[in-house]
Amino acid sequence: MYATAVLMVVFVLGLVVLGKRRAKIASSAPGPLGWPVIGNLPQLGRKPHKVLTDLRERYGDVYQIRMGSCPTVVLNGVKTIRQALVKQSEDFAGRPDFYSFKFIANGNSMGFSDYGARWKMHRRIAQNALALCANKKYNPIEEAIVSEAKFLVQNLLKSGERPVDPHNEIYLSVGNIICALCFGKRYRRDDPDFLQLIKNNDEFMAFAGAGNPVDIMPWMRHFTKRSFKQFLMILDTMNNLCLKKQREHLDTYDPAYVRDITDALIKATEETTNAEKVSVGLTDEHIMTTLQELIGAGFDTIASTLQWSILYLMTNPEWQEKVHQEIHTTYGSDKDPDVADLSELPYTEATILETMRHSCIFPFALPHSTTKDTHLNGHFIKEKTLVFVNLWSVSHDPEYFNEPELYNPSRFLDTSGTRVDRSKLDFFLPFGTGKRKCPGEQLAKMELFLFFTILVQKCKFEVVPGEHPVVDSKYGLTLKPLDFNVIVRERNQADQGQEPNLVK
């Protein structure tokens, strides 16, 4: 009995020492002690972004923890993150070899694949396809967003001033924009494929958050069989939907007339020579799975930012009136907003910026990894070390954002209060930075401005009497607001949205 106890103590101490030694080998950065096997996981709690931001005070901008047995370097603060991702961009542009990443887009994903020649070519193709289609000349995407936003207003107002949870309507509307871009078609609200897509999204994001046990301790999949199986099922549904669309497109494909992102990707498979593809290991399957990737990335992000927008508007009624006044003065109640006017609407722009800053939907970007042995702020970091880019520590840094926990759009205005202070944008990285910076930034800005402006132009959002909405998030790959209900009142009887043309 005594001998067993001694052996147990020696074993546990051994693991602690081994864990510490492993962590030391990965990086010379300081950090808190972790438990054997599970490392610092228990310390992360339900708000890892806040816990890891607090650790910055004690250990500095670069420190290390262990996610399970996986040594992880955490980067904090805008200066250090810029130094790593921009000045030493190649060193930090990798992605970790996570167990779940092997299944995303059949292992052919661009966003989740490691840095190298194949990723570079894949990213260029994805960026070109996006630029070709999210552009007025080839695809009237701005008009599509405006009509979808008006249709969203119409559906929210159907609640007839009864409490409504805006989640589904927002997701259906934003989902239709990315489907219009990718497939050239929008869906009916009751289409089973479309409803499945929306349902899958929430489950995918909840599973794929940083700190997912299966990724840092792959053996855990044997204990989380049900949720992992469900994750694979979600990926399979998405894969089948995109394959179906690809086959439909191929039947009518004309290289002289690119209708949407599916066509643009088919064209890329034809125009990239075999020699080019072979030289970097890129296949047509890689190129076509970009579709799944853009749908996944381009829809949850915008939809959750809009959900946050409504929550902040209803809990800050005075500010909501100011923004409404500005939009009403510029467009009245009927005129459609134009993205080109963004800089003429400082209250609107500042509100969108503050919504993105305060909610910080991507607290750790996507997980990074080092591509070679490197040094940062004097600390050694070994090749292939998992790196968390703590974007929460940037958007909630009291050095640049006074009282960061307060929602206060006027912090983005200059001293005259009439223009957005552009210098503030240097301290704020909602789309990340460097080689892995979000390629959907322009599309995202366009969608957020048009949806937001139309929602505020036509609706007034109020707290349900007797309810006290909590402005807090659920943790996952993206931070979403806790479920809430809102009262949506109509601002003006005129100009009700019509359902956009249904081409499906």
Single out the segment in contact with ligand HEM by CB under 6 A; choices: 213-221, 329-337, 361-369, 408-416.
361-369
Q: Give the residue among 77, 187, 155, 106 at the shortest CA–CA distance from 428.
A: 77
Cβ-based nearer residue to ligand HEM, 68 or 96: 96
For position 432 contacting ligand HEM by CB under 6 A, the verdict is yes
Q: How many Å apart are CA 398 and CA 53, to the nearest integer? A: 12
Whole-Å CA distances, 312 to 327, 396, 447 = 17, 17, 18
**Shortest reach from residue 477's CB to ligand HEM, in Å:** 10
- Is residue 354 close enough to count as binding ligand HEM by CB under 6 A? no
Residues 6+ apart with CB under 8 A from 56: 63, 76, 77, 390, 393
Beta bridge partner(s), residue 94: 369
Subset of residues 214 to 233 that bind ligand HEM, contact rule: CB under 6 A: none
48 vs 439, beta carbon nearer ligand HEM: 439
Nearest-approach distance from CB 425 to ligand HEM, in angstroms: 14
Is residue 115 a contact partner of residue 151, using CB atoms and an 8 Å limit? no
Nearer to ligand HEM, 34 or 96 (CB): 96
- Structure tokens that stand for 210 in this block: 């940083």
Stretch of 168-176, 277-285, 296-304, 375-383 lying at the interface with ligand HEM (CB under 6 A): 296-304
Integer angstrom CA distances of residue 142 from 177, 264, 316, 339:
10, 19, 29, 8
Question: In terms of CB distance, is 365 or 487 closer to ligand HEM?
Answer: 365
- Decide: is 337 part of the binding site for ligand HEM (CB under 6 A): no
Look at strands 62-67 and 368-369 and give their pairing: unpaired
Structure tokens that stand for 137 in this block: 């000349």
293 binds ligand HEM (CB under 6 A): yes
* Position among 249, 358, 436, 480 found at the interface with ligand HEM (CB under 6 A): 436
Query: Is residue 32 exposed (0-12), middle (13-18) or buried (19+ Cβ within 10 Å)?
Result: middle
Tell me how far apart the alpha carbons of residues 8 and 15 are, in angstroms, rounded to a whole number.
11
Q: Under DSSP, is residue 273 helix (H, G, I), strand (E, B) or coil? A: coil
Would you call 99 exposed, middle or buried from its count of C-beta atoms within 10 A (0-12, 13-18, 19+)? middle
Out of 53, 155, 176, 301, point to the residue binding ligand HEM (CB under 6 A): 301
Binding-site string for ligand HEM from residue 390 to residue 429, where x marks contact by CB under 6 A and - marks none: ----------------------------------------
Place of tokens 């946050």: 308
Residue 297 contacts ligand HEM per CB under 6 A: yes
What's the burial of 299, exposed, middle or buried (CB within 10 Å: 0-12/13-18/19+)? buried
Give the nearer residue to ligand HEM in terms of CB position, either 180 or 297: 297
Binding string, residues 442-461; x marks residues near ligand HEM by CB under 6 A: -xx-----------------
Per-position x/- string for 254-283, each x denoting binding to ligand HEM as judged by CB under 6 A, each - no binding: ------------------------------
Rounded Cα distance between 377 and 27, Å, is 12
Q: Which of residues 139-168 bind ligand HEM (CB under 6 A)?
A: none
**Amino acid residing at 157:** L
State the nearest-atom distance from the C-beta of 21 to ligand HEM, in Å.
Answer: 29
Looking only at residues 88 through 127 of this chain, which bind ligand HEM when binding is defined by CB under 6 A? 110-111, 123
* Residues 374 to 393 in contact with ligand HEM, rule: CB under 6 A: 389
Residue 21 amino acid letter: R
| Residues at the site binding ligand HEM, with contacts judged by CB under 6 A | 110-111, 123, 293-294, 297-298, 301-302, 305, 361-362, 365-366, 389, 430-432, 436, 438-440, 443-444
